[in-house]
Amino acid sequence: MWSRFWAWYEKHTTTSLFITALIIYIQIPHMVWNMDLYLEMGMISRVNPILDFFLYGVDLIEVIPMINIAMLIYSRIRKK
């Protein structure tokens, strides 16, 4: 079963990398929002609580790329 999972995962590496890239690109608006928050300019942050909630929550989905990268590294080491 373990070997079947890794065979499936290796077939879908491109999709996995696409999802990781998407999550990383979502970080760009989060960084701008965070800069506004730290500099206390108030142009983006603290204007809309729903937008603040989503832009703050982007940090939480960074865990997915971390797991994905670890799995990709393990997959490559396993092949060797």
The domain segmentation of the chain, as residue ranges, is: 2-79
pTM: 0.70
Mean pLDDT confidence for 32-58? 88
Q: How far is CA 76 from CA 6, 69, 72, in A?
A: 10, 11, 6
pLDDT of residue 42 exceeding 90: no
Torsion of CA 65, 71, 73, 78, to 10 degrees: -170
Q: What is the pLDDT of residue 4?
A: 93
Q: What is the pLDDT of residue 37?
A: 86
Give tens-digit pLDDT for 67-78.
Answer: 999 999 999 898
pLDDT of residue 46 exceeding 90: no
Mean pLDDT confidence for 21-39? 90
